[in-house]
Amino acid sequence: MKYKIPVFFAVRRETGVLLIITDVMTKKELEKLIREAVEDYIIDEDTYDDNAQLCIEPAEMNVYVADSRDVDPDSDKIDCYDVMDFVEMDTNPDSEGKWRVDDEAVSSAAAEYFPE
In angstroms, how far apart are the furthest CA atoms of the chain?
Answer: 43
Could you tell me if residue 101 is inside a domain?
yes
Could you tell me if residue 99 is inside a domain?
yes
pLDDT in tens, 24-73: 678 898 999 999 999 999 999 899 999 999 999 887 778 999 999 998 87
Residues in Cβ contact with 46 at an 8 Å cutoff, skipping those fewer than 6 apart: none
Contact 81, 65 (CB under 8 A): no
Could you tell me if residue 19 is inside a domain?
yes
Domain encompassing residue 102:
3-111
Q: Structure pTM?
A: 0.76
Could you tell me if residue 116 is inside a domain?
no
Query: What domain count does the chain have?
Result: 1
Could you tell me if residue 15 is inside a domain?
yes
- How many C-beta atoms lie closer than 10 Å to residue 50's C-beta? 8
Contact 99, 90 (CB under 8 A): yes
